[in-house]
């Protein structure tokens, strides 16, 4: 039995193929290749129309006729096969591999169910779609001639983005909800980046942000709360809590055997007193750092970026300072005495 190649090996082979090209195509070279491709298909379309008694076709029939002609031109077994058209298509895909690999690599790091090779395949589909729709008379916003690679970038992003929306969730959500969810996450991140010292934004705050420029969604608070529920990923109850196959599952963890009764208010207050006593071994600035980091006073845990802002230090210094303080607590604190 033949063992299929690993995705990483395929991606490496594609990357090496891309590196062989020492330069990108000029716009003039792209135009020549695209003309070879489209002229071959148009010749077959005209021949097929000549056979048909009804020369006027609907838009849907035109699209179907284009697909048929394209298949006949690219199929090496067909009498209408055109080697120039096939070579033009292969060249345009090869010269845009860098765009495809770059987008696929960045997107693969954010997805759970799609590999880099899966996203590469979607990117190739985007280039082929761009080739079918490309018009050499296209110009950019400045009125300058538009390169095919620039136009293809849009369709590469579109096809890869659509595949993520379709396959990166256990339960697929509609496209318009996915788009609104991305805007909600962006608004949430922007708020948190500019408001380090306050709690997370409420639904009312996010609603106000989304209804203002540049979003202008005209969305209600109830809709924002509904989008928040869509944000959470679906996980199986039979999933293991750890990588070990013998570890407890999510369902067993939620069962009565694993359930821990909530602490009484008196026990919570007692633990707080012990915690404050433990923090006395630290300097005031160290105690403030730990309290803010773990939300000991307000229940809000802070990220590295938030801690860097609040403590007026570099982000890279936050983990190092935290490790030093915890080591100090471990050395000077007495866990047996506090029994936390």
Secondary structure (H, E, C), 168-211: CCCCCCCHHHHHHHHHHHHHHHHHHHHCCCCCCCCHHHHHHHHH
Residue with tokens 């008379």: 137
**pLDDT given for residue 270 in this prediction:** 65
Q: Among 149, 153, 151, 171, which Cα is nearest to 161's?
A: 153
Pull the structure tokens for residue 97: 């591999």
**pLDDT given for residue 256 in this prediction:** 46
Pull the structure tokens for residue 340: 């936390």
**pLDDT given for residue 17 in this prediction:** 77
Cβ partners under 8 Å of residue 58, min gap 6: none
Pull the structure tokens for residue 300: 């809000």
Q: Which bin fits 218, alpha (ψ -120 to 50), beta or left (φ > 0)?
A: left
Q: Among 120, 234, 297, 313, which Cα is nearest to 322's?
A: 313
Residue with tokens 């400045």: 142
Cβ partners under 8 Å of residue 241, min gap 6: 247, 248, 249, 250, 253
Chunked mean pLDDT (size 10), the chain, 340 residues = 60 78 83 91 85 72 86 84 90 90 89 86 93 85 86 92 80 79 85 72 88 88 86 68 62 54 56 76 88 80 82 86 87 56
**pLDDT given for residue 338 in this prediction:** 46
**pLDDT given for residue 252 in this prediction:** 66
**pLDDT given for residue 255 in this prediction:** 56
Q: Which bin fits 339, alpha (ψ -120 to 50), beta or left (φ > 0)?
A: left
Q: Angle, to 10 degrees, between the axis of helix 116-133 and the axis of helix 97-108?
A: 140
Report how far residue 31's alpha carbon sits from residue 136's, in angstroms, rounded to the nearest whole number: 6
**pLDDT given for residue 16 in this prediction:** 80
Q: State pTM to two decimals.
A: 0.60
Helix (H, G, I), strand (E, B) or coil at 5: coil
Residue spans of alpha helices (H) in 255-303: 265-278, 284-294
**pLDDT given for residue 3 in this prediction:** 46
Helix (H, G, I), strand (E, B) or coil at 249: strand
Pull the structure tokens for residue 179: 């788009």
**pLDDT given for residue 2 in this prediction:** 44
Q: CB-based burial of residue 52 (10 Å sphere; 0-12 exposed, 13-18 middle, 19+ buried)?
A: exposed
Sign of CA dihedral 16, 18, 21, 23: negative
């Amino acid at each position: 039995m033949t063992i299929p190649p690993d995705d990483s090996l395929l991606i490496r082979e594609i990357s090496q193929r891309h590196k062989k090209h020492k330069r990108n195509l000029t716009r003039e070279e792209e135009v020549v290749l695209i003309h070879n491709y489209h002229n071959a298909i148009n010749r077959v379309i005209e021949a097929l129309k000549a056979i048909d008694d009804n020369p006027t076709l609907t838009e849907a029939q035109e699209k179907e006729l284009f697909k048929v002609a394209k298949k006949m031109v690219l199929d090496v077994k067909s009498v209408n096969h055109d080697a120039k058209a096939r070579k033009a298509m292969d060249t345009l895909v090869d010269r845009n591999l860098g765009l495809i690999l770059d987008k696929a690599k960045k997107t693969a790091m954010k997805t759970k169910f799609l590999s880099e090779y899966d996203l590469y395949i979607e990117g190739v589909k985007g280039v082929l779609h761009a080739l079918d729709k490309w018009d050499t008379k296209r110009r950019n916003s400045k009125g300058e001639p538009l390169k095919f690679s620039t136009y293809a970038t849009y369709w590469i992003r579109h096809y890869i983005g659509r595949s993520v929306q379709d396959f990166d969730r256990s339960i697929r959500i509609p496209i318009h909800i996915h788009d609104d969810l991305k805007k909600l996450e962006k608004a949430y991140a922007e708020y948190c980046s500019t408001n380090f010292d306050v709690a997370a934004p409420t639904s009312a705050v996010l609603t106000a942000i989304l209804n203002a420029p540049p979003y202008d969604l005209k969305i209600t608070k109830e809709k924002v709360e509904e989008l928040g529920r869509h944000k959470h990923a679906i996980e199986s109850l039979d999933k293991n809590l750890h990588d070990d196959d013998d570890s407890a599952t999510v369902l067993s963890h939620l069962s009565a055997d694993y359930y821990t009764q909530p602490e009484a208010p008196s026990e919570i207050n007692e633990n707080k007193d012990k915690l404050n006593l433990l923090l006395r071994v630290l300097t005031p600035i160290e105690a403030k750092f730990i309290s803010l980091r773990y939300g000991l006073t307000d229940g809000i845990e802070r990220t590295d970026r938030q801690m860097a802002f609040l403590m007026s230090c570099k982000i890279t210094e936050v983990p190092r300072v935290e490790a030093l303080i915890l080591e100090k607590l471990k050395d000077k604190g007495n866990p047996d005495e506090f029994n936390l």
